[in-house]
Amino acid sequence: MSGSGEFAEFLPAYLAEVDELLASAQRDLLAVEDAVRKGQAQPRAVRELFRALHTLKGLSAMVDVEPIVSVAHWMEASLRLADQAGGRLPESSVEPLVEGLRAIELRVRQLGAGKTASPAPTALLERLEALGPQVLDAAPKRARPVKLDAEAAFASRLAPSEREQLEGGLTAGQRALRLDFVPSSERAAKGLNINTVRERVAKLADIVKVLPLSGAAAGGASLAFALLLITRAEDAALLDAVGGPPAMVRSLEAPEGAAEAPGDLAPAPPDGAALPAGAVLDEELDEPEVRRGGGLLRVEVSRLDEAMEWLAALVVNRSRLTRAVAALTQAGAPTRELTAILQENGRQLRDLRSAILRLRMVRVGDVLERLPLLVRGLRRATGKAVRLELEVGDAELDKAVADRLLPALVHLVRNAVDHALETPEERQAAGKSPEGLVHLSCHARASGQLELTLRDDGRGVDAKAVAKAANAPVPDSADALLDLLCRPGLSTRQEATRTSGRGMGMDIVRRIVVEQLGGELRMETRKGAGTTFTLSVPLTVTLMDAIVFECAGRRYAVAVGTVEELIDVAGVVRPAGADGLGLVERRGAAVPLVSLARLLDAGSSGDASAKGGGAKALIVRQRGDPVAFAVDRLLGQQEIVLRPLEDPLVRVPGVAGATDLGDGQPTLVLDLAALGAARMGRRKRASRAGEWVS
């Protein structure tokens, strides 16, 4: 950034735009690398990567970030040659391009931290500059065996990379087609326009180019659009995607032995003459540019945070107003109209909350888009063959949750590649595929939780090795093994490497998932078969619906999404033992009953609730199994504002934070599963020490 700071006001918008361009460039570069390994061309990915870097260079030049301009320039130069060569890159060019993206990302982070971008490495610039001749040498020296029977006007508008893409599809056994879409008022009324048609066709085919046509189109229309496609879909499915006749499908494959003149231009019409039927207009509908519009508005997260804070204040004030109206009603004042207004205000606040939360939601796929590049680096650093599979669909979560969750997932993926997966030789000796698998999937649950599952097919966790490293007895369960793995400073590596051996990893994962997000972390492992980690996190951590209850004379709250069921335990509680644990019957099955008052050390030994005899119970899942927590009285459901306890001096396991229910007094928000697990851990440790903890 310029030393004078004259472009400082443009920096936030620049950083946001560049971050999106870098994410897109990384995806395209990984696609290019995959094609290079298979000896194939990847025209679309090369072209999109070129466009992203071209835009990135232009934006960086506008705000005077010369180091990024220099790196992007030489990357763009080699990609321009690759685009002209049909989308082919030599294998030797991939690593310098990856290093170039990393160099750009590093300098973007420097700018985001308020620092000056460091100069571009001279050695890297020289390597990128030398890519041009390598790309030219990799260009095909002869024409492809499959030719296109395209109209001269079409052929003149096809870039070499687009021609390569069509011919490559034909060679791979697909069809190269021209699909004509004819707009009309009837189709517009059904929601069919060129943008929606493009989205529908993209599900059936790879769109190479979209060209508008003028003149007497089919059906007497004056305008139509020609979509050049590569597909395996049937004609009927394609025609249905564009609304049926008068749309047409035509093959672009030349008959055997036909000649082709790709460079010929269509004869220009005489001055004043109408364009011939189906003539190609000068403007091309460029798909990425059309998508970049779409009425999108980029907003800084800090502004959304501010809106959420004001909403939180309104929620607290509504709670205060509810208490005031209840007091007036109890005093005999006429509050019928006030109550109706209060109910309507509650509905409006919930709608406002939903609207703001939707603004804050981001696609999980966008959060995880950098993991493939991480795995690529780990693959090179460890020498292991690894395949990363992402199955995330359209799930979304709050931006604040996403920012905290990503580091935890990075640690899990890093551990899976470095610790869990074997070398190709070890895998072959064990009868496995030489290539290891890391599979990450997620789906949203109806309880307002997002569940993520990270699975590998590696060697599994060696309980004995972990116990030795922790200087502890060998764990007898997956939960106990996970507790050992999450000990701060634990590492099974004796020496630090580029990826492991620093004693940081699973403790960070648990701190993020359980303590910061109030979620749940579980693990399953089988020797020689692999390990699966399951993370359950709330979709949002600020505003939530909570169940308010009373226990030992104090009020507490718990998130609705964490409670599986509310039950009445009067008369069906089996006697509690000396440890305060009992059993309660639930639809014919025995469920452990825990006295919440005893867990909180809030009840005296003679208190009925402290003995496990509370009138009500909340059932939650603790490491997959149902556990009932006895409480004295349920006070109802209420929308609350969660204030996490960030100070490590006051942070307590099982306490997610505090809230204000409208009376100005702080009320603790509990994480019952974590509270029970922490108490159980203390009891086990005390038992091993020869003590008794009630």
* Confidence at residue 439, expressed as pLDDT on a 0 to 100 scale: 93
Report d(CA 625, CA 632) in Å as an integer.
23
Residues 681 and 614 in one domain: yes
The 10 Å Cβ neighbour count of residue 429 is 10
683 and 551 in one domain? yes
* Cβ count within 10 A of residue 308: 21
Asked if the structure places residue 295 within a domain, the reply is no
Neighbouring residues of 104: CB distance < 8 A, sequence distance ≥ 6 = 22, 56, 68, 71, 72
pLDDT for the residue numbered 440: 92
We report the CATH number of the domain holding residue 215 as 3.30.70
pLDDT of residue 59: 82
Mean of pLDDT values over 509-527: 84
Neighbours of 94 (CB within 10 A): 18
Percent helix, strand, coil in the chain, to 5, is: 45, 20, 35
Say whether pLDDT at 456 is over 90. Answer: yes
Distance separating alpha carbons of residues 424 and 379, to the nearest angstrom? 11
Helix/strand/coil for 68: helix
Give residue for tokens 């309507």.
344
Q: Are residues 210 and 156 in the same domain?
A: yes
548 and 613 housed in the same domain:
yes
**Is the pLDDT score of 693 beyond 50?**
no
Is 119 a residue whose pLDDT tops 60?
yes
Mean of pLDDT values over 27-35: 84
Which amino acid is present at 66? E
Identify the band that residue 265 occupies on the pLDDT scale cut at 50, 70 and 90: very low
- Let me know: does 635 contact 549? Beta carbons within 8 Å: yes
- Which of 510, 532, 554 represents a domain boundary (last residue)? 532
Residue position matching structure tokens 């599994």:
460
Mean pLDDT computed over 671-675: 80
SS3 of residue 390 by DSSP: strand
Number of domains, the chain: 5
Residue 270 has pLDDT above 50, yes or no: no
Instruction: Report the CATH number that the domain containing residue 29 is assigned in CATH.
Output: 1.20.120.160
205-214: strand order across its sheet: 248-251, 175-181, 223-231, 205-214, 279-280
Identify the helix (H) or strand (E) that includes residue 692: none
**646 and 518 together in one domain:** no
Average pLDDT (221-240) is 82
| pLDDT at residue 455 in the model | 93
CA angle 360, 536, 22 (to 5 degrees): 45
User: Any idea how long the chain is?
Assistant: 694
Domain containing residue 197 = 152-265+277-286
- At residue 361, φ and ψ (nearest 5 deg) are -75, 140
Residue 314 lies in a domain: yes
CB 229 within 8 A of CB 179: yes
pLDDT in the model for residue 255: 64
Domain with residue 498: its CATH number is: 3.30.565.10
Tens digits of residue pLDDT in 166-222: 776 776 667 888 888 888 888 888 888 888 888 888 888 888 888 877 654 444 556
Main-chain phi, psi angles of 264, to 5 degrees? -65, 145
Q: How far apart are CA 522 and CA 113, in angstroms?
A: 35
Indicate the pLDDT class of residue 88, thresholds 50, 70 and 90.
Answer: confident
393, part of any domain: yes
Q: 7-16, 24-33, 422-431 — which one is most confidently predicted on average?
A: 422-431
Average pLDDT, the chain: 76
Rounded to 5 degrees, φ, ψ at 151 are -60, 150
Asked if the structure places residue 159 within a domain, the reply is yes
Question: In terms of domains, do 380 and 324 share one?
Answer: no
Residues 157 and 120 both lie in one domain: no
- The reply to whether 556 and 514 lie within a common domain is no
Q: What is the CA radius of gyration of the chain?
A: 31
| pLDDT for residue 556 | 92
Give the tokens for residue 357.
């939360």
Domain boundary, last residue among 321, 343, 362: 362
520-526: strand order across its sheet = 386-391, 436-444, 449-456, 530-538, 520-526
Using pLDDT thresholds of 50, 70 and 90, give the confidence band for residue 533: very high
Q: Are residues 14 and 118 in the same domain?
A: yes
pLDDT band, residue 575 (cuts 50/70/90): low
Alpha carbon separation from 170 to 38, 63, 197 (Å, rounded): 17, 44, 23
Ramachandran bin of 612, using left for φ above 0, alpha for ψ from -120 to 50, beta for the remaining angles: left
With 70 as the cut, is the pLDDT of residue 573 above it?
no
**Residues 347-363: tens digit of each pLDDT:** 888 888 888 888 888 88
Residue 36 host element (H or E): helix 11-37
Model pLDDT, residue 284 = 43
Q: With cut-offs at 50, 70 and 90, classify the pLDDT of residue 586.
A: confident
Residue 529 above 80 pLDDT? yes
Do 380 and 523 sit in the same domain of this protein? yes
Same domain, residue pair 552 and 681: yes
Is there a domain that residue 1 lies in? no
3-state secondary structure of 625: strand
Residue 267 CA: distances (Å) to CA of 156, 278, 428, 512:
11, 13, 62, 66
Q: How far apart are the C-alpha atoms of 162 and 144, rounded to whole Å?
A: 13
Give the CA dihedral 302, 306, 312, 318, nearest 10 degrees: -160
Distance CA 516, CA 658 (A): 13
The pLDDT assigned to 228 comes to 86
Contact 544, 448 (CB under 8 A): yes
Same domain for 190 and 255: yes
Q: Which of 473, 501, 532 is the last residue of a domain?
A: 532
Q: Is 490 helix (H, G, I), strand (E, B) or coil?
A: coil
386: β partners: 436
Q: Which residues pair with 482 in a beta bridge?
A: none
Above 70 in pLDDT, residue 646? Answer: no
Mean pLDDT along residues 653-669: 80
- At 692, the pLDDT band (50, 70, 90 cuts) reads very low
Helices marked H in 524-665: 596-599
In a domain, 272, yes or no: no
Kindly state the average pLDDT of the residues 262-276: 37
The β-bridge partners of 443 are 451
**Peptide bond before 160: cis, by omega within 30 degrees of 0?**
no
Q: Work out the percent of the chain whose per-residue pLDDT is above 70.
A: 77
The per-residue pLDDT for 350 is 83
Percent of the chain with pLDDT over 90: 4
What is the DSSP code (8-state) at residue 574? E
Higher pLDDT, 550 or 519: 550
Q: Please check whether residue 540 is in contact with residue 639, taking contact to mean a CB–CB distance below 8 angstroms.
A: no
Query: What is residue 8's DSSP assignment?
Result: G
Residue type at 656 in one-letter notation? A
